[in-house]
């Protein structure tokens, strides 16, 4: 879905992924799909959350922690979305989102 169509499902939202009794991970909320934007602009969803970046980060964490895959520095998606400077900006946007939601 990411490499072929240029979209990523919301993997970062609470409850969007479940672990089945047999140990499979299933995506259960497919109503929030983001277009991958590899430019420097960090897209936000309708509530101001950087869902695309956080979903790519969640996918990497699943691959790393469940499959034991190290970060491939040549992987185009991860090269853009997991760049330290971009991740700092995403973290700031995420914190701003949570502050806004708490008000």
Terminal C-alpha separation, the chain = 36
pLDDT average, residue stretch 92-99: 96
Question: Do residues 42 and 90 make contact, with C-beta atoms less than 8 angstroms apart?
Answer: yes
Residues paired with 91 in a beta bridge: none
Tell me the two tokens of residue 7. Answer: 């979209």
pLDDT at residue 28, as a whole number: 84
pLDDT at residue 23, as a whole number: 87
Which residues in 78-101 are b (16+ Cβ under 10 Å) and which e? bebbbeeeeeeebeebbeebeeee
pLDDT average, residue stretch 87-92: 98
1 pLDDT band (50/70/90 cuts)?
low
Selection from 2-6, 21-25, 31-35, 73-77 with the highest mean pLDDT: 21-25
Question: Do residues 90 and 58 make contact, with C-beta atoms less than 8 angstroms apart?
Answer: no
pTM: 0.86
| 38-64 tens-digit pLDDT | 788 999 999 999 999 999 999 999 999
Domain boundaries of the chain, sorted by first residue: 2-102
């Amino acid at each position: 879905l990411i490499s072929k169509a240029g979209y990523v499902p919301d993997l970062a939202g609470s409850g969007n992924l479940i672990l089945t009794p047999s140990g499979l991970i299933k995506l259960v909320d497919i109503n929030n799909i983001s277009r991958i934007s590899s430019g420097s602009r960090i897209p936000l969803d309708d509530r101001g959350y950087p869902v695309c970046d956080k979903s790519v980060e969640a996918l990497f964490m699943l691959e790393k922690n469940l499959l034991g895959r190290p970060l491939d520095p040549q992987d185009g998606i991860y090269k853009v979305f997991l760049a330290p400077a971009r991740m700092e900006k995403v973290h700031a946007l995420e914190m701003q989102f949570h502050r806004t939601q708490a008000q």
